[in-house]
C-alpha cells in the first residue's frame, strides 16, 4: 500500500519512505491511498489479542513494506510493561493501556503510564525504535530538531535517548513549562540529547525550527529531521489504543463506543478517525478544545480559521494551546472524498493566513457522517471537572483530561459506552491540581526527587545562526 499527499502533487510513497520525513514535498500530509479494512471476522479475532498482538495486526496493514518478523521484534520491544508501567517490570500495567471504569458506561483510557507521563509516549517510543531500525538499514544518521512547550519534547527525548545514528536538538522556552516538565528533559544525561533553552517564548523556538528547515542547503547537509505530530507513523501508532479500548469496554462487535479526546494539533483524534475508517465501530469522536477553540468553532460552524501566535491564549491546559491544528488537513481530505484539488483550494486560503467555510463548499453536512462532534472547556470548567472527578470517581485527572471529560459528558448517549482519553498524569501539572483540589497530585514511584537531579542544558539567545552552529558542532559526535 502506498501513501499519497493530501495536496495531490507529490509521488506516492511507501511507509518506510515517509517514516523519517514530515510534510510531503508539495506541502501536504501523507495519507493511505486506500485504508486497509478490518472485517467483522477480523475484529472477532482481534478481540482476544493483547496490546502487542493488536499493534502488530494494525501496523502490518499500515507499514506493509516492513517485514512481519522485523515489525514484531520492534513492537515486542516497544510495548512492554516496564516501559508503560512507570518503569516497573513487575507492574500491573501489562495491558499497556488499561481502561479504568469511572461509573457504568463511563471509562478513562489510561495512556499516560509511559516514561514521560503523557500519551505522546504511546507512539513516540515506537518511533524511536522504528527510526533506529530504518537508519541502520539505510546506513544513515539524522539530526532531529524540534521545539517544545512541554510534552512533545520530553516524549521525543525519552524515545530517542541512546539510539544509534540519532541526535536530538530540542528547543524549549526559558519560561512556560512546568518545573516538572523542565526537570524531565534537562535531567537526561545521554550524549545524543541536546537541550537548547531559548531566551524567549515557545513561538520563538518554533520560528527557529522553521528558519533552519527552510535553509535547504543546511537541512540536507546536516540531515535535519523532525518528529512533529504530522508524522504519519505517530498517528498510525495512536490508532492502536482505540482498538484496545473498544474491545475492553464491549462484549460484541455489534456495539458502538464513543471517545472523548482532548485536542490541540488534532493528531490524537485523527488516530481515532483512522481506526474508524479501518472498520472500528465508533459512534462519536468527541473533540474537546480549551479556550483556544479553533476546532470547536469549525465543528459548530464549518469555518476553519487558524489564529496567529499572538491570538493564542496561555491556559491551564497548555498542551492544547494551539491555534493551527496541523493534522486537521488529513480529516478534511477524507471529508472531500480524497479530492486533493479541493484541499489545495481550501489550504491556499489558510496558508495565506486566511480561513475557509465548508458550508460554502457544500461539504459541511458530511461531517456528521464521520461521527465528529465538539465542545469547549475553560479554566473554570477544568477546575470544576477535576474536583468532580476526585469527589465522584475518587480519581485525580490532569487539566487536559478534564477538558475531555467535561466535553465528553455533554455528548454522552444512553446505552453507548463513553471512553475518555487520559492524555497526561496530574503529576505533570501540579499547580493546576493544587488550585483545584488544594493538594499536590501523587507522583509515580521513582520521580519524587526529579527536580533535584543534575540538569544538562545550554541557554541561548533567540538566534537561528547560533542554533545552526550548535548542530554543526555536534553533527559528527
Ligand atoms: C499533545 C497533547 C494534547 C493534544 O493532542 P493533539 O494530538 O495535539 O490533539 C492533549 N493533552 C496533552 C496532555 C498533550 O500532551
Ligand 1 atom 8: the closest Cα is on which residue? 265
How far apart are alpha carbons 300 and 364 in whole angstroms? 10
Spatial CB neighbours of 345, under 8 Å, sequence gap ≥ 6: none
Q: Is the CB of 264 under 6 A from ligand 1?
A: yes
124 to 18, 28, 152, 233, 469: CA distances (angstroms): 16, 22, 9, 9, 27
Element containing residue 100 per DSSP (H, E)? strand 99-103
Looking from the CA of residue 424, the nearest atom of ligand 1 is: 13
Determine the distance separating the centroid of ligand 1 and the alpha carbon of 152, expressed in angstroms. 9
Determine the distance separating the centroid of ligand 1 and the alpha carbon of 261, expressed in angstroms. 9
Long-range contacts of 153-157 (CB under 8 A, 24+ apart): 153/185, 154/116, 154/118, 154/181, 154/184, 154/185, 155/114, 155/116, 155/118, 155/120, 155/121, 155/124, 156/124, 156/227, 157/185, 157/188, 157/193, 157/195
Q: Is the CB of 404 under 6 A from ligand 1?
A: no
Determine the distance separating the centroid of ligand 1 and the alpha carbon of 71, expressed in angstroms. 26
How far apart are alpha carbons 468 and 63 in whole angstroms? 33
pLDDT at 22 (0 to 100): 77
Looking from the CA of residue 155, the nearest atom of ligand 1 is: 15
Q: Is the CB of 423 under 6 A from ligand 1?
A: yes
CA Rg value for the chain = 21
Buried b (16+ CB within 10 A) or exposed e, 66-87: beeeebbebbeebbbbebbbbb
Q: Is the CB of 266 under 6 A from ligand 1?
A: yes
C-alpha cell at 240: 492502536
C-alpha cell at 140: 544513515
* Nearest one of 98, 91, 167 to 128, comparing CA atoms: 167
Q: Is the CB of 403 under 6 A from ligand 1?
A: no
| Ligand 1 pocket, mutate which of 113, 116, 119 (most atoms under 8 A from CB) | 119
Q: Is the CB of 166 under 6 A from ligand 1?
A: no
Ligand 1 atom 2: the closest Cα is on which residue? 319
pLDDT at 176 (0 to 100): 77
Determine the distance separating the centroid of ligand 1 and the alpha carbon of 157, expressed in angstroms. 17
Q: Is the CB of 66 under 6 A from ligand 1?
A: no
pLDDT digits (tens, 9 = 90+) for 155-192: 999 999 999 999 999 999 888 788 899 999 999 999 99
| Ligand 1 pocket, mutate which of 319, 323, 397, 402 (most atoms under 8 A from CB) | 319
How far apart are alpha carbons 319 and 172 in whole angstroms? 14
Determine the distance separating the centroid of ligand 1 and the alpha carbon of 116, expressed in angstroms. 13
> Is residue 393 classed exposed, middle or buried when 0-12, 13-18 and 19+ CB atoms within 10 A define those classes?
middle
pLDDT at 324 (0 to 100): 85
DSSP one-letter string for 165-233: TEEEEEEEESSSS-HHHHHHHHT---TTEEEEEESS-HHHHHHHHHHHHH-HHHHHHTTEE---TT-HH
Determine the distance separating the centroid of ligand 1 and the alpha carbon of 236, expressed in angstroms. 15
> Is residue 352 classed exposed, middle or buried when 0-12, 13-18 and 19+ CB atoms within 10 A define those classes?
exposed
- Residue 421 DSSP label: E
Q: What angle do CA 262, 268, 274 make, to 5 degrees?
A: 135
Q: Is the CB of 299 under 6 A from ligand 1?
A: no
Query: Is 359 a catalytic site residue?
Result: no
Determine the distance separating the centroid of ligand 1 and the alpha carbon of 235, expressed in angstroms. 12
455 to 168, 186, 202, 450: CA distances (angstroms): 16, 5, 20, 10
Q: Is the CB of 222 under 6 A from ligand 1?
A: no
CB 143 within 8 A of CB 169: yes
Mean pLDDT, the chain, integer = 94
Spatial CB neighbours of 257, under 8 Å, sequence gap ≥ 6: 245, 246, 249, 250, 281, 282, 283, 416, 417, 418, 419
Spatial CB neighbours of 465, under 8 Å, sequence gap ≥ 6: none
| Ligand 1 pocket, mutate which of 109, 111, 263 (most atoms under 8 A from CB) | 263
pLDDT at 90 (0 to 100): 66
Q: Is the CB of 112 under 6 A from ligand 1?
A: no
pLDDT digits (tens, 9 = 90+) for 125-165: 999 999 999 999 999 999 999 999 888 999 999 999 999 99
- Residue 412 DSSP label: -
> Which one from 72, 120, 244, 468 is the annotated catalytic residue?
120
- Residue 109 DSSP label: E
| Ligand 1 pocket, mutate which of 118, 241, 294 (most atoms under 8 A from CB) | 118
Instruction: List the domains of the chain with CATH numbers.
Output: 99-117+237-437 (3.40.50.1100)
Q: Give the pairing of strands 166-173 and 142-147.
A: parallel
Low-confidence ranges of the chain (pLDDT < 50): none
Amino acid at each position: 500500500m502506498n501513501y499519497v499527499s493530501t495536496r495531490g502533487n507529490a509521488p506516492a510513497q511507501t511507509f518506510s519512505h515517509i517514516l523519517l520525513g514530515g510534510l510531503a514535498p508539495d506541502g501536504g500530509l501523507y495519507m493511505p491511498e486506500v485504508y486497509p479494512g478490518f472485517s467483522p471476522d477480523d475484529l472477532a479475532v482481534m478481540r482476544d489479542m493483547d496490546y502487542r498482538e493488536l499493534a502488530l495486526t494494525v501496523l502490518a496493514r499500515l507499514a506493509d513494506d516492513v517485514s512481519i518478523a522485523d515489525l514484531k521484534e520492534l513492537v515486542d520491544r516497544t510495548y512492554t510493561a516496564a516501559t508503560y508501567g512507570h518503569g516497573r517490570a513487575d507492574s500491573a500495567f501489562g495491558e499497556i493501556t488499561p481502561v479504568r471504569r469511572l461509573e457504568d458506561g463511563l471509562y478513562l483510557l489510561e495512556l499516560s503510564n509511559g516514561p514521560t507521563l503523557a500519551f505522546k509516549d504511546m507512539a513516540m517510543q515506537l518511533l524511536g525504535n522504528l527510526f533506529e531500525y530504518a537508519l541502520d538499514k539505510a546506513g544513515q544518521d539524522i539530526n532531529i530538531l524540534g521545539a517544545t512547550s512541554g510534552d512533545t519534547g520530553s516524549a521525543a527525548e525519552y524515545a530517542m535517548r541512546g539510539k544509534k545514528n540519532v541526535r536530538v536538538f530540542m528547543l524549549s522556552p526559558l519560561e512556560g513549562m512546568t518545573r516538572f516538565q523542565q526537570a524531565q528533559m534537562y535531567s537526561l544525561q545521554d550524549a545524543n540529547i541536546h537541550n537548547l533553552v531559548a531566551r524567549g517564548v515557545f513561538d520563538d523556538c518554533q520560528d527557529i525550527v522553521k528558519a533552519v528547515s527552510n535553509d535547504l542547503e543546511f537541512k540536507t547537509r546536516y540531515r535535519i529531521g523532525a518528529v512533529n505530530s504530522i508524522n504519519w507513523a505517530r498517528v498510525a501508532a495512536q490508532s492502536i489504543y482505540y482498538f484496545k479500548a473498544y474491545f475492553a469496554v464491549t462484549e460484541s462487535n455489534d456495539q458502538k463506543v464513543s471517545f472523548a479526546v482532548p485536542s490541540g494539533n488534532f493528531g490524537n483524534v485523527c488516530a481515532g478517525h483512522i481506526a474508524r475508517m479501518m472498520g472500528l465501530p465508533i459512534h462519536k469522536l468527541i473533540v474537546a478544545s480549551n479556550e483556544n477553540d479553533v476546532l470547536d468553532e469549525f465543528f459548530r460552524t464549518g469555518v476553519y480559521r487558524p489564529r496567529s501566535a499572538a491570538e493564542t491564549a496561555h491556559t491551564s491546559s497548555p498542551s492544547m494551546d494551539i491555534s493551527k491544528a496541523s493534522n486537521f488537513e488529513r480529516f478534511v481530505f477524507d471529508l472531500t472524498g480524497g479530492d486533493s484539488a479541493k484541499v489545495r483550494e481550501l489550504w491556499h486560503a489558510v496558508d495565506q493566513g486566511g480561513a475557509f467555510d465548508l458550508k460554502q463548499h457544500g461539504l459541511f453536512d458530511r461531517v456528521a457522517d464521520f461521527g465528529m462532534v465538539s465542545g469547549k472547556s475553560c479554566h473554570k470548567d477544568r477546575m470544576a471537572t477535576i474536583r468532580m472527578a476526585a469527589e465522584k470517581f475518587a480519581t485525580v485527572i490532569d487539566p487536559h483530561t478534564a477538558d475531555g471529560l467535561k466535553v465528553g459528558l455533554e455528548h454522552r448517549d444512553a446505552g453507548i459506552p463513553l471512553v475518555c482519553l487520559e492524555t497526561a498524569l496530574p503529576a505533570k501539572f501540579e499547580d493546576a491540581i493544587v488550585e483545584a483540589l488544594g493538594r499536590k497530585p501523587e507522583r509515580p514511584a521513582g520521580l519524587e526527587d526529579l527536580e533535584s537531579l543534575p540538569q544538562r542544558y545550554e541557554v541561548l539567545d533567540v538566534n537561528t545562526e547560533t542554533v545552526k552552529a550548535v548542530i554543526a558542532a555536534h553533527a559528527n559526535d
